[in-house]
Amino acid sequence: YPSNIYCISCGNIIDDSRPYSLCDSCVRTLKWANGRTCSRCGKPLQEGYGPDLCTDCLDTEHAFEKGFTCVEYGAAEREMLHRFKYKDQAYLGRKMAEIMYDRIRIEELSPDLIIPVPMFGRKQKKRGYNQAAVLASSLAKYTGIPYDGRLLVRAVETEAMSRLSALGRRRNIREVFSVPVSKKDRLAGKTILLVDDIYTTGSTADACSQALLEAGAGRICIFTFASGANLIRKE
């Protein structure tokens, strides 16, 4: 179907003048990451929160250099990502990539390669597509930056991350990703933009980044459509 007939968030009818296929109401409802963000992972920071790092990054030394995101993960963002990932609505990813494209231009990012966080083969076959690959390949088309969806592979099927603590996520994702020997020359010294749908604690981003760096990559930046909130721990 043609784009810009229905709002990708609420489903209301719109016209083709609306950017990103979002109605005016949803543009105001989405939690855009336009304010202060964590200087390391890009997670939005609350007004009045002091440090330039989120609470996770204060405690964790990440393998990636910097992260960027477009929206904070709230109710509207969660519903849209759920339909994208689990309701066979891959076309939503192409619209999200338009939003990501504008963010990449604002940040003046110029990586050598765009790659997605890989999905385990059996899980991808069941779903029909890897949502991170839809975002990454669409972003590559918009930017003209080379894309490689087979450079990083996921050899192990892991437990669902949403049910795990931060420590559990890191244990769950350890030594899961690798770079094929035949692909290592393509990585040598390159700046990589690693794309995923959502950033939470950074455990997946770190595991992927570590595998890429060990295979010879120069720098890794993380780019997601959404990021979890900065959870301030009580004393």
Residue 11: its pLDDT value, please? Answer: 92
pLDDT tens-digit series, residues 85-99:
999 999 999 999 999
pLDDT one-digit tens code per residue, 153-176:
998 765 554 554 555 555 556 678
Report the pLDDT averaged over residues 121-127.
88
Is 12's pLDDT higher than 50?
yes
What single DSSP character describes residue 233? P
Question: Would you tell me how many other CB atoms lie within 10 Å of the CB of residue 230?
Answer: 21
For 199, residues 6+ apart whose C-beta sits below 8 A from its C-beta are 41, 42, 43, 67, 69, 205, 222, 224, 226, 227, 228
Q: Could you tell me which residue, 222 or 125, shows the higher pLDDT?
A: 222
Whole-angstrom distance, CA of residue 14 vs CA of residue 154: 39
Least confident of 106-110, 145-149, 164-168: 164-168
The predicted-structure confidence for 17-47, as pLDDT tens digits, reads as follows 898 999 999 999 999 999 999 999 999 999 8
Give the mean pLDDT of 131-153.
97
> Which pLDDT score, from 0 to 100, does residue 120 have?
86
Among 156, 224, 152, residue whose Cα is nearest residue 183:
152
The crossing angle, in degrees rounded to 10, of helices 166-173 and 203-214 is: 30
Q: Is the pLDDT of residue 233 over 90?
A: no
